Amino acid sequence: LANEVEKTMQNAPQGATTHAISLLLGHPDPTTLLTPEFTEAMQNVASSPQALTALQYGSEQGNRALLDYLIGKISAEQSIALRHDQMMIVAGSTHAVDMIARLYTQPGDTVLVESPTYADALHIFRDHGVELCGVPMDKQGVCVDEMASLLSRLQHDSRLPKLFYTIPTFHNPTGITLIESRRQQIVELARRYGFMIVEDDVYRHLAFEQEVPSSFFALAGNVPVMQIGSFSKTLAPGLRLGWLVAPSEAIARFVGCGTTQMGGGASPLSAQIVAEYCRVGAWDRHVESLRRLYQMRRDTMLDALQRYMPPSVKWTQPNGGFFLWLTLPEPMQASVVKQIALAHGVIVGAGGGYFSNAADGSHNLRLTYSFAPPDQIEKAVEILAGVLNDLS
């Protein structure tokens, strides 16, 4: 969404954005990115013969030590028995989404998405020429009844979807988590209508209060699910490193595709550093500290919203992840609010960009609590509330 930031900046009154507080970007807190343990892992790799392997073309499936570590960890966390042929290392969730779109869709195919969903994923699917079809959400995630009706209509029009792209856990942009009973119902719809589920689960490790529901991958039985994980939200985006869990036939197809054959496995140098970092238990400790950090940020934002917002404004109550979602009263246009907030030094995401049909987001804002420090979050919410009070 950096293009959006840039456009926003260009349209801003001069001087307004110099000290603007960003509640826009879905970035991790920049102060968490470089820990002593990470520096040590990097230095260990730099000065050891491991670097020789990490600097050559990598094994297509990805760094073996990292795969072994992740298979053990994810199998335990999700109560599944992952086999080695069901996972590969990817260069971030971007790589996975793009590869899935490239190899499992054709231009003109239908892809179901949540409404709203991750703006940049919409962008990737559009680059591949697919038709996006949004399914409404409520506080418990995707509305399954509406999904069933939509699928029935699509079947009637011979436009059944190839896949359903979902962020079921600590959803981007709303922070909502899809309840487990609905996950089971969606698996049944996938079985009935023959579509794959792409489970973008990059926030799963950032749970604040409770157990997260079972993953689609764990619930799906023989319904094909591709589950995407990433080190971008829980370690460092600059590594370009994540993983993809999928049926072995799909992994074989990804490993055998042109880009993997040409470039080898994803990000071999980063993967070796992270394998070393994970080996000593550093990632587990880091994720634990991030959970506490982002929970405090979320509390700061919720407290400020409670204190300052006019009663006509509603928001979600995320139990993990980076975001919450504001719903403005009908007359207020998110795009107008965004511009006025910017003039007052606060950058927020207008809802339209997160919908396959932009008009559906006219009255929504996404607020990120992961990036700005607590005092800035509180100040930004107070300013935004002032703007909304003035408009009320």
Give the binding site for its own copies (CB under 8 A): 1-3, 25, 27-28, 30, 33-34, 38-39, 42-43, 45-47, 51-60, 91-95, 97-98, 102-103, 106-107, 118, 120-129, 232, 236-240, 256-259, 261-264, 266-270, 272
Q: Which two structure tokens, joined as six digits, stand for 338?
A: 């965004």
Looking at beta carbons only, is 260 or 319 nearer to its own copies? 260
β-pairing, 323-327 with 196-200? unpaired
Looking at beta carbons only, is 140 or 259 nearer to its own copies? 259
d(CA 94, CA 101): 11
Query: CA-based angle 247:322:337, to the nearest 5?
Result: 125
Smallest gap from Cβ 260 to its own copies, in A, equals 9
Looking at beta carbons only, is 265 or 361 nearer to its own copies? 265
Q: Hunting for tokens 């730099």 — which residue is that?
A: 46
Smallest gap from Cβ 91 to its own copies, in A, equals 6
Contact between residue 327 and residue 314 where contact means Cβ atoms under 8 Å apart = yes
Looking at beta carbons only, is 78 or 370 nearer to its own copies? 370
Smallest gap from Cβ 219 to its own copies, in A, equals 27
Please state at what angle helix 268-279 crosses helix 36-46, rounded to 10 degrees: 120
In one-letter notation, the amino acid at residue 59 is: S
Looking at beta carbons only, is 46 or 296 nearer to its own copies? 46
Looking at beta carbons only, is 126 or 291 nearer to its own copies? 126
Closest CA to 110 of 153, 141, 169, 144: 153
d(CA 138, CA 1): 25
Smallest gap from Cβ 73 to its own copies, in A, equals 21
d(CA 93, CA 58): 19
Helix (H) / strand (E) element for 87: namely strand 87-90
The DSSP letter of residue 57 is: P
Q: Which two structure tokens, joined as six digits, stand for 261?
A: 């054959």
Smallest gap from Cβ 328 to its own copies, in A, equals 25
DSSP codes joined into one string, 310-325 = -TT-EE---SBSSEEE
Looking at beta carbons only, is 18 or 106 nearer to its own copies? 106
Smallest gap from Cβ 170 to its own copies, in A, equals 18
Q: Hunting for tokens 């460092």 — which residue is that?
A: 236
d(CA 327, CA 315): 6
Smallest gap from Cβ 312 to its own copies, in A, equals 33
Smallest gap from Cβ 92 to its own copies, in A, equals 5
d(CA 29, CA 312): 30
Looking at beta carbons only, is 120 or 199 nearer to its own copies? 120
Contact between residue 95 and residue 235 where contact means Cβ atoms under 8 Å apart = no
Looking at beta carbons only, is 46 or 76 nearer to its own copies? 46
β-pairing, 242-245 with 225-230? antiparallel
Smallest gap from Cβ 227 to its own copies, in A, equals 17
